Structure 1
């Protein structure tokens, strides 16, 4: 175990690559989720069909197979991607398909009366979406988005199979050099757990912020005023 712990710089470099993959992949997945999720709730049947094709195809495709196809198969027809780009694209396309369903369901879950009120106020479609529907829908999206973010982080472990020096590949190198399989995988198990907990705390903070913006819980200033009022009584 001491040999494994003394090699922490190697594992930290791998963990940093894993974090980068998580950030880039989640950013791409978030963009795709909103684009195709909103398309899934559009009035046009053609627009809805395009959104449905994306969701069903990439949700039904294994991330590893998609990554292999992008990295090994596409170069055979003239398209060559860097390993990091292929990994981020595979992770983003796959998780974005799940996220699109989250977006579509969250927007649909906003009470119909809210939509009718925007029509009564003569808002344009973009104004309805930006000012009324999305702020309420985002609060509903955050918990499932948090789960998808953690799943993306854990799913990034497969990128070691296309020679990206992430945490898993560094662990394999350390295992081969020290021969301590149990200790190595115990350490990276803890590292993955810590990263997941940090992501979970971040999502919960965003949930609280969304609730404050929507008036579902008092903000810091309101809590201070309530505490002062209670003390005065």
Structure 2
């Protein structure tokens, strides 16, 4: 079989992979900020909720999380009379987002705690509320520090999308396995897949670098 015939189905899978990676990364960033900020909250309940979420999703395998959401959660829902069945793409996006969000939450928490305490004291002297100090003083200084790590997490999330093929989601890895089973041409198929993942990672890295430079201007403006 001509290797050029592999390209169209692999591109279809790559489109699904890109969609899952983009949506799960954006949703994961939301989780990261919500729970990262939550871990620094003055409320003990909010801190504990954030800690539980972070530790569970950092301390367990992404593959197990994916299987639990896809296979176990619907059964748990049946036991209590609630329909908790979701489509494979919804489960894939949610599992990836929850996982990357837990790691990102620690990045957010660390960056916020690295802000000079004098900044908070100055905000208090200016009669800022805790929320005003967070959003007007701390976050604008902390976000530029988060960006390099967020870039690494986004690329890692892209690579982790290959796991969604295990719940029959027709992403790049799933399409590659189908073609390999039909053609028995493992070398060519997986070489093409390597190139495609690498190309997507390069594009994502370039975008994150641009975003990092854009956000980095905040530091210079504030300086």
Using structure 2 for the length normalisation, give the TM-score. Answer: 0.92
Task: Give unmatched runs, 5+ long, in structure 2.
Answer: 79-83
Instruction: Say whether 1:182 aligns with 2:187.
Output: yes
Distance 1:47 1:188, change over 3 A: same
User: C-alpha root-mean-square deviation of aligned residues, in Å?
Assistant: 1.7
Instruction: Say whether 1:159 aligns with 2:193.
Output: no
Is the CA contact (8 Å cut-off) linking 1:4 and 1:174 kept in structure 2?
Answer: no
Instruction: Say whether 1:110 aligns with 2:131.
Output: no
Taking the aligned partners of 1:5 and 1:175, their CA distance within structure 2 comes to: 14
Taking the aligned partners of 2:29 and 2:53, their CA distance within structure 1 comes to: 14
Taking the aligned partners of 1:47 and 1:173, their CA distance within structure 2 comes to: 45
Aligned residues: 217
Task: Give unmatched runs, 5+ long, in structure 1.
Answer: 219-233
Structure 2 counterparts to residues 90-169 of structure 1, below 5 A: 90-169=95-174
Distance 1:182 1:85, change over 3 A: same
Is the CA contact (8 Å cut-off) linking 1:3 and 1:178 kept in structure 2?
Answer: no
Is the CA contact (8 Å cut-off) linking 1:61 and 1:94 kept in structure 2?
Answer: no
Q: Give the number of the structure whose alpha-carbon radius of gyration is greater.
A: 1
Q: Give 1:72 shift.
A: 1.1
State the partner residue of 1:13.
12
Using structure 1 for the length normalisation, give the TM-score. Answer: 0.88
Is the CA contact (8 Å cut-off) linking 2:144 and 2:218 kept in structure 1?
Answer: no
Q: Secondary structure at the match of 1:215?
A: helix
Taking the aligned partners of 2:3 and 2:127, their CA distance within structure 1 comes to: 65
Deviates more, 1:189-198 or 1:69-78: 69-78
Q: Give 1:217 shift.
A: 11
Moved over 4 A (4+): none
Q: Give 1:216 shift.
A: 6.8
Is the CA contact (8 Å cut-off) linking 1:102 and 1:141 kept in structure 2?
Answer: yes
